[in-house]
Homo-oligomer: A and B are copies of this chain.
Amino acid sequence: MSELYEKLRPHIERQFALDCALTLYSWDNETLAPKDAMENTAKIIGTLSAQAYGALVNDEVRTLLASLREPKEFDVLSSVEQSIVKKLNKNFDRLEKIPANEYRAYSELTAKAGSIWAKAKTENDFAAFAPSLKEIVSYQKKFAAYTKKPEMSLYDAMLDENEEGILTRELDIFFEKIKETVVPLLKKVVAKNDTVNKDYNSRHFPVERQKEFCRFLAEYIGFDFNRGVMAESAHPFTTNLHNHDVRITNHFYENNLESAMFSVIHEGGHALYELGVDDALTLTPVGGGTSMGVHESQSRFYENILGRSEAFWKPLFGKLQENYPEVLSGVDLKDFIRGINKAEPGPIRTEADELTYPLHIIIRYEIEKMLMEDLISVDELPRVWNEKYKEYLGVTPKNDTEGVLQDVHWSGGAFGYFPSYAIGNAVAAQIYAYMHNEVNVKECLEKGNLIPIREYLREHIHCFGSTKNMNELLIAMTGEPLNAEYYTKYLTEKYTKLYLE
């Protein structure tokens, strides 16, 4: 046992507890808090954030971490302790460069901005959100300038926060490869797609029945309601407090069958990741998923690779039909599978099919890059957004609500996050390509037993929390680091088989 580590432990506990309280606040704000609470609540969040900052950035922790960097001290730590110390070093080095008062003001700002954005979106009023967004962008740039490595651009520093080492240089190549495949493939598919009739999707699906079916789906993929809950929010998301308390939300539309169903499978995938973290890691700084990209690989694996496959629905489609008597009669499994995979360029990312989805991400990536390089201003965002949608998807949002205001991310300061969705798709496809060696995925799905799939992911990814990074996980599982080929191959094969043969 390391004496130094034992001295560090209460600091770790304090910071973790404060972070956890902030997570609970954020959950509560998204799901329940009354609308006029935010002004006061933001002050409380600011104060708690300042305490979380101070729990890490203080002289005692600085001294302890410095001593623990010495090999003779570091080497005697257990491997979990080593991971924690490494993570703390990283967090400490970053955080101490940000002035405490700015950190606190930024926390208050983003706590408030969520409801300002939500109101602006409802009222189609970008101008009402723009002042907050300008402040957030300005803080983001300042923080990136404080913390970035000398060779990095500001946007690279933000990307690095989300997926270590996957910067614009890597992403430019990555997205180029995706474009090369997706743009021509999409053209061909769309030409055939018109024959796919998915009118059924906008029939009437009572919300209470949707809720029941979504609850069933969550359990079906392996979500444990003794260790998690499901609630509602404007946008579906997942929150984890620890590995025995993981929460997903959903949003229900009476005239949309797919939306809530695929959201629950998506968020369920995130949740399985957090529920699968080892007990020895939870309640520590390495107790959550390792990166946004790996997180999205789990959610999008469940949502798309499993959830939009025929094998997944084979044992379930009858139950789905029964859940909406008459509404789905006359739709057979084949129609349904073609329906849920229909590629249709549209303005909304979260409603996008698997093929147009990466184009939504590329648009955001390019816009964020321009914004952070000062090539465009916040005020120009609506125009640039619409131009990019025209260019990549051939659609023009009919207003800012379905355009630049559609996503919550920027209101929380999540710049550099969007690429994670595309990275996640690629990681998922790569894992999927190798998973077959150990698990007969198709058979599991057709038999309605998804546990072996969850267990495979738990054993190779989930249990490690953030003690290993994306490429360490991928190399251990697949023998190679991130390789976009698997993703482009997966899309090509899937869509060729569905519509082009």
Contacts and interface: CB of A to CB of B under 8 A. Distances in A.
Interface in A300-342: none
Contacts of A34: 225-229, 244-245
A153 interface: no
Copies of this chain in the oligomer: 2
Interface stretch (A14-22, A60-68, A391-399): A14-22
Contacts of A1: none
B40 A244 contact: yes
A160 to B, nearest CB: 29
Contacts of A43: 13, 283
Contact of A33 (B18, B37, B224, B245): B245
- Interface of chain A, main secondary structure: helix
A282 interface: yes
Contacts of A243: 40
A474 interface: no
A5 B86 CA distance: 41
A32 B244 contact: no
Interface residues of A, number: 38
A71 to B, nearest CB: 31
B25 A21 contact: yes
A90 interface: no
Contacts of A36: 224, 226-227, 244
A243 B44 CA distance: 13
Interface string A226-257: 11110100000000011111000000000000
Interface in A32-68: 32-37, 39-41, 43-44, 47-48, 51
A23 to B, nearest CB: 10
Interface of A: 13-14, 16-18, 20-21, 24-25, 28, 32-37, 39-41, 43-44, 47-48, 51, 224-229, 231, 241-245, 282-283
